[in-house]
A and B are shown apart, each in its own frame.
Chain A
Amino acid sequence: MNKTVNQKAWFLVLPVLVLVAFSAVIPLMTVVNYSVQDTFGQNVFFWNGIMWFEEMLNSERMWNALGRQVVFSAIILAIEVPLGVFVALNMPKKGFWASFCLVVMSLPLLIPWNVVGTIWQIFGRVDIGLLGYTLDAIGIDYNYTQGFFAAWTTVIVMDVWHWTSLVALLAYAGLQSIPDAYYQAAKIDQASRWAVFRYIELPKMMGVLMIAILLRFMDSFMIYTEPFVVTGGGPGNATTFLSIDLVKMALGQFDLGPAAAFSLMYFLVILAISWVFYTVMVNLDKREGR
């Protein structure tokens, strides 16, 4: 039977296209326009060519912020992904406790970013916070407003607390989709626990895990609210991540041009990494489809 060619279904994509145009494409074009101009407000702009890009590429401040950002993302990925998989492996497979675990796990995901920030801001305070007070009482010098190490630890532990559940839930969904026959075959072969994980569970989880890593990477790479609420980027510039620094530059100092130039580079980095992840994911699917 010959299928008739009908491309009208493309029109169904139109609303999304309009929405994305208004929420992303047009603002992005505006940022591109800002990046080649200078302004003192009043929507009056002066041509500046590629000077802002040159300035930003040679700006130690921005490279440092980018460096901190990369380190932050690397650390939280290195903690959250293995931890999430570990949690998922140890969650009950069915029954009351499975549902109970799922609900408990998803609780942190439901809390808005600024509330998470506030919770940890108070939790870590030495005078009234449970964590800060306890650590102080047992003699650990912990003060996230002054100590570099304390500030980083707080921000990282907060992110792990907030988002490990996401990785765990996705990994759990991946695990649930493995038919029992695989485990039975492994048992017949007397496969070790490690072999079952390495050759059955991990390959089957790969697809969702890639999505989890991509989501966590993008979210952590763009993190703003939580560290801003907890440390405000301090002490000094210790936890001033990219978006915090960009907001400082764009809104605090009203340097729209340099901020736009840098945010475009920031965007390119995210685009490149997301493309790599996407390509890997699509190719994983293809290999599984064969």
Chain B
Amino acid sequence: MAWMAWTWPTAAFFAVIAALLVIFTVLAVKFPETPRRGVLGIETTRGDRLFITLLASAFLNLAWLGFGIAPQPYALIACLVLAAGIFRFV
């Protein structure tokens, strides 16, 4: 594993994503759902909304950094707000 040049932050990052995937898989099995249509006009399940959230969060973080809006950790708060919005309305 040394060749992969691991660091604690990146390991934690991947651990969180892996945990999210596991949680959402378990949720999908335990509590099956029917896809619903949101503001984007497409049918989404919880998993789709998670994917959209993660992708949007990545872009939000980059925009946050690129435009120098505020110190980077605050972007995470914005991401949580974004996630809540996506899970509620998409």
Q: CB-defined interface of A28-55 with B at 8 Å, one 1/0 digit per residue?
A: 0110111011010001010100100110
Majority secondary structure of chain A interface residues (helix, strand, loop or mixed)? helix
Count residues on chain A whose CB falls below 8 Å from chain B CBs: 25
Contact across chains for B55 and A36 when beta carbons are under 8 A apart: no
Within 8 A of B (CB), among A249-290: 265, 268, 271-272, 275, 279, 283, 286
B55, A54: Cβ atoms under 8 Å?
no
Instruction: Check B42–A272 contact: CB distance below 8 A.
Output: no
A271 with B55, Cβ < 8 A, contacts A33-B5, A34-B5, A36-B10 known: yes
Q: Which of B3, B4, B43 has the most CB atoms of chain A within a 10 A radius of its CB?
A: B4
A57 to B58, CA, bound (A): 14
CB <8 Å contact, B59 and A57? no
Determine the chain B residues whose CB is within 8 A of the CB of A36 once the complex forms.
7, 9-10
Would A33 and B7 count as touching, CB distance under 8 A? yes
- CB closest chain-A residue, reference B6: A33
Interface band, chain B: 20 to 34
B7 x A50 contact (CB < 8 A): no
List which A37-78 residues lie within 8 A (CB) of chain B: 37, 39, 43, 45, 47, 50, 53-54, 57-58
Looking at the assembled complex, report how far the CB atom of A282 sits from the nearest CB atom of chain B, in whole angstroms.
8
Given contacts A50-B65, A275-B51, contact A30 B58 (CB under 8 A): no
Residues of B within 8 A of A (CB): 2-7, 9-10, 13-14, 42-43, 51, 55, 58-59, 62, 65-66, 72
6 smallest beta-carbon distances between A and B, as pairs: A57-B66, A33-B5, A30-B4, A45-B5, A33-B10, A268-B58
- Residues of A in contact with B (beta carbons under 8 Å apart): 26, 29-30, 32-34, 36-37, 39, 43, 45, 47, 50, 53-54, 57-58, 265, 268, 271-272, 275, 279, 283, 286
